[in-house]
């Protein structure tokens, strides 16, 4: 029995084309646009960063986060698929040192954060330039439960003379971390000294997922 699979055009559903396969029945496809273009086009991508730099810490993170993103969706709502995590060292000590980013995923049921969005403490925007209107709440210096902190970056050397900004980290996560509804993600920077300061943040996509919790 021969089966045909047709594909409809996104721009004109009335137009169809046959989907091709090779001799071992692999479906032949080609990526027409760069990765993540479609999610961004649909308006599901967002990013946030601290406006003012805060001090790094010298020990493993525990119950205080530099920045926390809380998923304010109700149960069964959108999950936050983390795309990347980043930080920028605004001021370093000038001595030899290293810094790296740690992250903690908090499970569903976390108490809501106190919003910092309207307080000009963070920049929160859409990846396509749209204004954010979702249910995320961002809090700085939040006291949080230690649900397990893990390094998500390699270490980076700060700017060697101190004072001047320069060093930074941007880590592709690409869905390896997911924030469930009423859960959260916290970030913290571990550095050589608490006199080094950082602006940290992340980008994510919002999409309903059937999570196994």
pLDDT confidence of 96, banded at 50, 70, 90?
low
| pLDDT tens per residue across span 166-199 | 788 999 999 999 999 999 999 999 998 888 899 9
What is the fold, at CATH topology level, of the domain defined by 35-208?
Jelly Rolls (2.60.120)
Give the tokens for residue 70.
């809380």
pLDDT at residue 92 in the model: 81
Distance (Å, whole) CA 139 – CA 154: 25
pLDDT above 70 covers a percentage of the chain that reads 88
| pLDDT tens per residue across span 98-117 | 889 999 999 999 888 776 65
Question: Per-residue pLDDT averaged across 131-157, rounded?
Answer: 91
pLDDT > 70? residue 203 = yes
pTM of the model: 0.85
Instruction: Assign 3-state DSSP to the chain and report helix, strand, coil percentages, each to 5.
Output: 5, 40, 55
Question: Per-residue pLDDT averaged across 55-79, rounded?
Answer: 94
Distance (Å, whole) CA 210 – CA 8: 26
pLDDT > 60? residue 118 = no
pLDDT at residue 4 in the model: 65
pLDDT > 50? residue 1 = no
Question: Per-residue pLDDT averaged across 123-144, rounded?
Answer: 91
pLDDT > 70? residue 84 = yes
Give the tokens for residue 171.
């880590």
3-state SS class at 174: coil
Q: Note the Cα 130 to chain centre separation in Å.
A: 17
Question: Per-residue pLDDT averaged across 125-136, rounded?
Answer: 91
pLDDT above 90 covers a percentage of the chain that reads 52
């Amino acid at each position: 029995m021969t089966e045909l699979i047709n594909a409809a055009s996104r721009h004109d559903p009335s137009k169809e084309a046959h989907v091709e396969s090779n001799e071992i029945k692999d479906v032949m496809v080609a990526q027409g646009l760069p990765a993540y273009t479609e999610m961004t086009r649909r308006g599901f991508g967002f990013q946030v960063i601290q406006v003012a730099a805060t001090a790094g810490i010298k020990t493993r993170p525990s119950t205080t986060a530099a920045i926390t993103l809380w998923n304010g969706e109700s149960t069964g709502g959108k999950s936050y698929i983390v795309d990347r995590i980043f930080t920028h060292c605004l001021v370093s000590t000038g001595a030899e040192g290293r810094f790296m980013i740690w992250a903690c995923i908090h499970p569903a049921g976390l108490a809501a954060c106190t919003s910092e969005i309207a307080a000009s403490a963070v920049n929160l925007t859409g990846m396509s330039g749209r204004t954010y209107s979702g249910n995320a709440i961002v809090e700085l210096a939040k006291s949080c439960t230690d649900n397990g902190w893990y390094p998500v970056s390699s270490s980076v050397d700060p700017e060697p003379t101190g004072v001047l900004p320069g060093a930074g980290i941007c880590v592709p996560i690409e869905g390896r971390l997911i924030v469930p509804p009423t859960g959260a993600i916290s970030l913290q920077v571990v550095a050589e000294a608490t006199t080094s300061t950082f602006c940290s943040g992340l980008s994510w996509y919002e999409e309903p997922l059937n999570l196994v919790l």
